[in-house]
Amino acid sequence: MPEALLEITDAERRFGGGRTLFGKSLPAVHAVQGVALDVKKGETMGVVGESGCGKSTLARLIVGLDKPTGGTIRFDGTDLVAEAKADPRKLARKVQYVFQDPVASLNPRKTIRTILEAPLIHLRGFDGQKREERLRELMEAVNLAPEFLDRYPHEFSGGQAQRIGIARALAADPDMIVLDEPVSALDVSVQAQVLNILDRLKDEFGLTYIFISHDLSVVESVSDRVAVMYFGRIVEIGPAKEVFARPRHPYTHLLLNSAPVPGRKSLIPEDTNTELPDPYNPPPGCSFFARCPRGTDVCKTAFPPLDQTDGNENHRAACYHPHGDD
């Protein structure tokens, strides 16, 4: 068994591109490019970055809902794209997805029982008494009364609906769950309940998480390691404590400096200074150059590789002039 449960090498997802019938080039967007990431069994890997930086695109690649246009993704040693094509149910038993908008992710015309039964029937092959027992266990695992099984999604609050979304992911008995902004739509007090449940389930079911959020304080509290994304690439990666205490990349610095004030949520700011470059016309070299206080001419030549360390190989930044070197 490989050490890493998930191994992503040089992953790319380009949208558009190609040529018209008359040979004219069509514009392309690189939603994800040059992404390399290993996630170990039992780890919580946080992924942060502002809106449009490619977090959900990466998440969809990892669960096989979308295919990379370049690079490879291996899960437990097996090529994920090949497995998604040959045996999508097998892949669904390995990795599951929890969506940002809990209510919209549940079919409004189906009861919770029908929603949770689908993976138990199609992915686990459970029937009769065994399925009924498992339904009750799943509801209990997310602190919901089994009596709620025959209700419809609109009868639940956002936090309850997200717990049902988590129970649906658990029903497949996966090794990994990709959580895409799982608490962003919830009030802070409800966020804490859902985060506590996720923490407990991780131990109980031996899960590995990829936890995506644009809320730095949430990512800091749940992650073992964190990857910071900017404009489709990972620009800094390392142990969460290190990255938050000693950020190397100027973008991570900017995020943390504009972050926490007690009582305020540390969300990535959405003011005009935080706009990403035009995806159809990316700048040459480092994509953070236009916003970077440390940029020099070398930064305009080529995108810096994710290999700048401060002596610790596990903490790397993609920057020609990282913090900590001066």
Ligand X SMILES: Nc1ncnc2c1ncn2[C@@H]1O[C@H](COP(=O)(O)OP(=O)(O)OP(=O)(O)O)[C@@H](O)[C@H]1O
* CB of 31 or CB of 98, closer to ligand X: 31
CB of 246 to ligand SF4, least distance (A): 16
Of the candidate spans 13-21, 102-110, 212-220, 288-296, the one that interacts with ligand SF4 by CB under 6 A turns out to be: 288-296
Contact status: 153 vs ligand SF4 (CB under 6 A): no
Minimum distance from residue 238 beta carbon to ligand X (Å): 20
**Pairing assessment for the beta strands 70-75 and 308-309 based on DSSP bridges:** unpaired
Strands 225-230 and 176-180, how do they pair?
Answer: unpaired
* Partner whose footprint covers residue 31, from ligand SF4, Mg ion, ligand X, none (CB < 5 to 8 Å by kind): ligand X
Q: Does 126 bind ligand SF4 (CB under 6 A)?
A: no
Query: Residue 228: phi, psi to the nearest 5?
Result: -100, 125
Distance of closest approach, residue 317 Cβ to ligand SF4, in angstroms: 8
* Contact flag: residue 292 with ligand SF4 (CB under 6 A): yes
- Give how many residues touch ligand SF4 by CB under 6 A: 12
Task: Pick what 53 binds: Mg ion, ligand SF4, ligand X, none; C-beta below 5 to 8 Å, kind-dependent.
Answer: ligand X
- Distance CA(102)–CA(165), nearest Å, equals 7
Closest CA to 255 of 281, 216, 213: 216
Longest alpha-carbon distance in the chain: 68
Binding residues vs Mg ion (CB under 5 A): 55-56
Pairwise CA distance, residues 49 & 214, whole Å = 6
Residue choice 84, 216, 254, 299 for contact with ligand SF4 (CB under 6 A): 299
CB 13 → ligand X: shortest distance, Å?
A: 8
Sequence-distant (6+) residues with CB within 8 A of 155 are: none
> Quick one: what does residue 292 bind among ligand X, ligand SF4, Mg ion, none, with the CB cut-off 5 to 8 Å set by partner type?
ligand SF4
Among 304, 306, 315, 316, binds ligand SF4 (CB under 6 A): 304
> Quick one: which of 39, 62, 288, 315 contacts ligand SF4 (CB under 6 A)?
288
Nearer to ligand X, 134 or 249 (CB): 249
Q: Are strands 95-98 and 176-180 parallel, antiparallel or unpaired?
A: parallel
User: Which residues lie near ligand X (CB under 6 A)?
Assistant: 15, 29, 31, 49, 51-57, 214, 279
Provide the token pair at 6.
Answer: 């998930």
Cα radius of gyration (the chain): 21
Residue 38: strand pairing partners? 7
Q: In Å, how far from its chain's centre is CA 35?
A: 13
Sequence-distant (≥ 6) Cβ neighbours of residue 49 within 8 angstroms: 55, 214, 228, 229, 230, 268
Q: What does the binding site for ligand SF4 look like in residue numbers (CB under 6 A)? A: 250, 286, 288-289, 292, 294-295, 299, 304, 319-321
